[in-house]
A and B are shown apart, each in its own frame.
Chain A
Amino acid sequence: MNEWIFYAFSAVAVAGALGMVSNVRNTVAAALSLVASMVSLGGIYVLLEAYLIGVLQILVYAGAIMVVFLFVVMLLNQRKDGFSAGRQWVMKTFGAVLGVAGAVGLVGLLPARFPEAAALPEGFGGYRALGVMLFTDYVLAFEVSSLLLLSAMVGAVILARRSAD
Chain B
Amino acid sequence: MVGEAVVLSAILFAIGTVGALVRRNVIVVLMSIELMLNAVNLALVAFSRQWADPAGQVLVLMVIVVAAAEVAVGLGIVISLFRNRETLNLEEASLLKW
B12 touches A56 (CB 8 A): no
The residues of B that contact A91 with a CB separation of less than 8 Å are 21-22
List residues 28-82 of chain B with CB under 8 A from any CB of chain A.
Answer: 28, 30-32, 34-35, 38, 41-42, 45-46, 48-52, 54-55, 57-58, 60-62, 64-73, 75-80, 82
Residues from chain A with Cβ under 8 Å of B51 in the complex: 118
Contact A114–B2 (Cβ < 8 Å): yes
B8 at the interface (CB under 8 A from A): yes
Contacts of A83 in B (CB 8 A): 24-25, 89, 91
Q: Which of B16, B27, B83 has the most CB of A within 10 A?
A: B27
- CB within 8 Å of A: which of B1-29? 1-8, 10-19, 21-25, 27-28
9 further A-B contacts with Cβ under 8 Å, apart from A61-B38, A113-B3, A133-B54, are A14-B12, A37-B38, A68-B71, A99-B17, A106-B14, A114-B50, A134-B58, A152-B70, A152-B72
User: Which chain B residues have a beta carbon within 8 Å of chain A's beta carbons?
Assistant: 1-8, 10-19, 21-25, 27-28, 30-32, 34-35, 38, 41-42, 45-46, 48-52, 54-55, 57-58, 60-62, 64-73, 75-80, 82-83, 88-89, 91
